[in-house]
């Protein structure tokens, strides 16, 4: 395969890699993808034919494309899901149109560079539109292909400059030296440039939470149930979706995972069909004052504090998820709201977010709660609210279930156990009518979590116990590979909180049967392991690319600063110990500890001095031996050898040495003719080894390579060389 064909294949691959980065963002559907792939195939087919577009026509089409796309954008020819997607979507289509025009025309080196720039802009544009880890794969492929393409592009230009483009091959003497010298330099320079530019840019420019423009498309909407009004039956549809809502990482794993639920919003007013919040506008504001951490409450026992890191997908809700009781929040926001129902909110507009919450997991034990007979304070009447026309059977059932209870806690446990054991769990929409709760309790006797939570809250309220319903998520599936809980829409959940005034705390109860709390078990085996590794890669992408904000920056720099500080402390400790030992030796040497101390100090000093002398002698001896046997040059030669085409570099070295001494091979001489004309045995030995390596069927042995290196060394050592060539 000639270098020209290789160059074209790589150039087309680079163009396709640019399109791939846009394709993984979901910007183009089946029709757009088919059109562009068709143009690429057509352009490849008509290369070097009369069917290619002329340069003049191609330039005219490119100039006309700019106003054409402006008009298409102005009159909304393309239908985008949101206004935020319109501009990047139009830019993506414009870039691909310019690329298609340039592909179809006859191309010079300048045109190929134009195509490379367009591919780069596609990757750059996709970086702002993608929230998928697939973009990382497309980026890696693009960098690899683009780097290879540029190297071959430079090789092609070099070959053309020496007039050997059509017959270019690595074996030609003229190209061997040029390519061997320039390609490693070009490749290394490109890699160094990429690293030097990319690493500081990556670590000093944080990404925003919603890294994808139009990130909300296909994400989670208000159907997650986090709104001021939630109707019974809503979760029956939500929990059938496998869409990821968030990923949560804990700084340490609690001993008991059964109580882990990600609290979202509490609701207190029920009208037989729906729950809503009372006084939603009444909120407390907690501001960030000179630090990232927003203090919410005072922390209790430090051993019960648990730090959670949330990576939340695009939501249309503003709830800040947490494990009760949240005492501090670390988030890139100026303030956090808390409503009268202990739910937290912050400003968010349908984009990906990451934040940390510190929670106090203290919960009074059962005996303390059983002894809580303190009267309820004034101002919490909404937690006893019941519909005016509540079905009397519900009140009667609640009294029967809690009969014999001697405390609020026992009544709550008895109601919870009754609902868990006497009813079935289902996602089907069975209960309904004008009073879906009564239909659930007395007719259907099956439902999902909202029905169970509503039933427990209403039954306890009918017995004078303050309750509220909480919407949030179960803990989800733990991925040990990524060390995160993956929470999906199917993990949406409702439960009940009961107020105990003596302890001034709300305690969670979950009346949903076990089938509704655990969810479906994940499949095992190889497929499940592979899926978890992919999720771990997705988590890595989200944490260090999509959600890498100033908070993550400071965490990373703090870790680096801590490591540097520890290294400095270790070095200072060693220097201090060495200085102390030296002082002690000097005191002994000058006689502070008597004659025995002086003798001991002299012995130690002599031993240290002897060790230093022996070390220096060994280094000098070793370096002389290495120079004598030329081990470094032999090792370097072996490291440079790859395939047969690279083994023969020693012949080029010999030619340079001879040229410096005035012996230059004529173009009409073969290597052997040149060697015998000189009459030097070392030249003949090197040339014969060159012929065996270049045209033979086997590589040179280590002994043969050593003999070649010895011959080259002798040629270098000669002061002059007789010129006997033609």
Per-residue model confidence (pLDDT) at position 371:
94
pLDDT digits (tens, 9 = 90+) for 36-48: 899 999 999 898 8
Measured distance CA(631)–CA(613) in Å, rounded:
25
Better-predicted residue by pLDDT, 93 or 373: 373
Q: What is the pTM of this model?
A: 0.57
Measured distance CA(576)–CA(571) in Å, rounded:
9
Per-residue model confidence (pLDDT) at position 651:
84
DSSP string, 232-246: TTHHHHHTT---EEE
Residue of 524, 514, 509, 471 lying closest to 493 (CA atoms): 471
Per-residue model confidence (pLDDT) at position 372:
93
Q: Name the percent of the chain lying above pLDDT 90.
A: 25
Per-residue model confidence (pLDDT) at position 553:
54
Does residue 281 register a pLDDT over 60? yes
Does residue 599 register a pLDDT over 70? yes
Per-residue model confidence (pLDDT) at position 460:
97
pLDDT category, 446, cuts 50, 70, 90? very high
Per-residue model confidence (pLDDT) at position 79:
61
Measured distance CA(677)–CA(723) in Å, rounded:
9
Mean pLDDT of the chain: 79
Q: Which CATH number fits domain 222-544: 3.10.620.30, 3.40.50.720, 3.30.70.260, 3.40.630.10?
A: 3.10.620.30
Measured distance CA(57)–CA(54) in Å, rounded:
5
**Most confident among 121-135, 243-257, 323-337, 452-466 (mean pLDDT):** 452-466
Measured distance CA(552)–CA(331) in Å, rounded:
10
The answer to whether the CB of 14 falls within 8 A of the CB of 153 is no
Residue 53's DSSP bridge partners are 105
Per-residue model confidence (pLDDT) at position 396:
96
Least confident of 4-18, 68-82, 207-221, 311-325: 207-221
pLDDT category, 222, cuts 50, 70, 90? very low
Does residue 621 register a pLDDT over 50? yes
Measured distance CA(286)–CA(337) in Å, rounded:
6
Diameter of the chain by CA atoms? 122
Per-residue model confidence (pLDDT) at position 497:
97
**Most confident among 12-26, 462-476, 671-685 (mean pLDDT):** 462-476
pLDDT digits (tens, 9 = 90+) for 687-711: 888 888 777 656 778 788 888 888 8
What are the φ/ψ torsions at residue 162 (nearest 5 degrees)?
A: -105, 10
Place of tokens 């392991």: 529
Per-residue model confidence (pLDDT) at position 194:
63
SS3 state at 59: helix
Q: Name the percent of the chain lying above pLDDT 70.
A: 76
């Amino acid at each position: 395969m000639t270098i020209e064909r290789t160059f074209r294949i790589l150039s087309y691959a680079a163009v396709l890699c640019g399109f791939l980065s846009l394709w993984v963002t979901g910007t183009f559907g089946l029709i757009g993808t088919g059109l562009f792939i068709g143009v690429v195939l057509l352009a490849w087919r008509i290369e070097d034919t009369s069917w290619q577009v002329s340069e003049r026509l191609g330039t005219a089409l490119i100039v006309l494309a700019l106003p054409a796309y402006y008009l298409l954008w102005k009159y909304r020819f393309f239908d985008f899901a949101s206004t935020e997607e319109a501009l990047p979507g139009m830019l993506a289509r414009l870039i691909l149109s310019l690329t298609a025009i340039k592909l179809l025309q006859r191309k010079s080196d300048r045109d190929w560079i134009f195509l490379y720039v367009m591919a780069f802009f596609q990757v750059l544009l996709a970086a702002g539109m993608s929230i998928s880890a697939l973009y990382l794969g497309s980026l890696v492929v693009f960098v690899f292909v683009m780097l290879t393409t540029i190297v071959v592009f430079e090789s092609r230009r070099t070959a053309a400059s020496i007039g050997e483009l059509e017959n270019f091959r690595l074996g030609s003497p003229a190209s061997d030296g040029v390519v061997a010298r320039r390609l490693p330099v070009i490749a290394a320079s490109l890699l160094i440039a990429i690293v030097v530019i990319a690493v500081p840019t990556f670590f000093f420019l944080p990404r925003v939470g919603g890294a994808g423009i139009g990130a909300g498309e296909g994400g989670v909407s208000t159907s997650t149930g986090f709104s001021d009004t939630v109707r019974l039956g809503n979760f029956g549809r939500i929990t059938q979706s496998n869409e990821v809502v968030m990923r949560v990482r804990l700084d340490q794993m609690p001993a008991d995972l059964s109580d882990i639920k990600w609290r979202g919003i509490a609701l207190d007013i029920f009208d037989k069909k729906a729950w809503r919040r009372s006084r939603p506008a009444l909120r407390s504001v907690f501001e960030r004052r000179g630090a990232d951490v927003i203090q919410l409450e005072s922390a209790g026992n430090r051993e019960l504090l648990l730090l959670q890191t949330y990576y939340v997908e695009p939501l249309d809700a503003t709830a800040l998820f947490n494990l009760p009781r949240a005492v501090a929040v670390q988030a890139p926001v100026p303030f956090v709201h808390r409503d009268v129902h202990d739910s937290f909110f912050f400003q968010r507009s349908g984009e990906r977010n990451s934040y940390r919450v510190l929670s106090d997991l203290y919960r009074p034990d059962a005996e303390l709660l059983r002894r809580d007979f303190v009267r309820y304070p004034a101002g919490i009447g909404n937690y006893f609210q019941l519909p005016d026309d509540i079905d009397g059977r519900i009140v009667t059932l609640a009294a029967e279930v809690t009969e014999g209870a001697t405390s609020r806690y026992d009544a709550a446990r008895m109601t919870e156990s009754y609902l868990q054991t006497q009813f079935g769990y289902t996602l089907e929409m069975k209960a309904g009518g004008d009073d879906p709760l009564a239909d659930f309790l007395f007719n259907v006797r099956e439902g999902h979590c909202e029905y169970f939570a509503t039933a427990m809250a209403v039954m306890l309220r009918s017995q004078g116990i303050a309750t509220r319903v909480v919407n949030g998520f179960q803990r989800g599936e733990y991925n040990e590979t990524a060390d995160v809980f993956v929470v999906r829409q199917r993990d949406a959940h409702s439960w009940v909180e009961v107020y105990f005034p003596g302890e001034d705390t709300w305690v969670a109860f979950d009346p949903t049967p076990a089938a509704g709390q655990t969810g479906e078990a994940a499949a095992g085996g190889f497929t499940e392991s592979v899926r978890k590794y992919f999720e771990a890669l997705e988590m890595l992408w989200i944490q260090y690319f999509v959600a890498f904000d100033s908070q993550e920056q400071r965490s990373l720099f703090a870790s680096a600063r801590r490591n540097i500080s520890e290294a400095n402390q270790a070095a200072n400790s060693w220097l201090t110990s060495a200085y102390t030992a030296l002082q002690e030796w000097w005191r002994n040497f000058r006689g502070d500890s008597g004659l025995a101390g002086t003798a001991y100090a002299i012995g130690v000093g002599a031993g240290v001095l002897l060790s230093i002398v022996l070390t220096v002698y060994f280094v000098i001896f070793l370096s002389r031996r290495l120079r004598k046997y030329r081990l470094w040059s032999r090792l370097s030669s072996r490291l440079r050898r790859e395939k047969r085409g690279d083994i023969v570099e020693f012949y080029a070295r010999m030619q340079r040495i001879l040229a410096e001494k005035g012996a230059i091979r004529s173009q009409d001489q073969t290597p052997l003719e040149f060697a015998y004309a000189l009459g030097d045995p070392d030249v003949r030995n090197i040339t014969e080894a060159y012929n065996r390596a270049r045209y033979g069927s086997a590589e040179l042995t280590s002994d043969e390579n050593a003999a070649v290196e010895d011959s080259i060394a002798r040629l270098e050592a000669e002061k002059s060389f007789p010129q006997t060539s033609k």
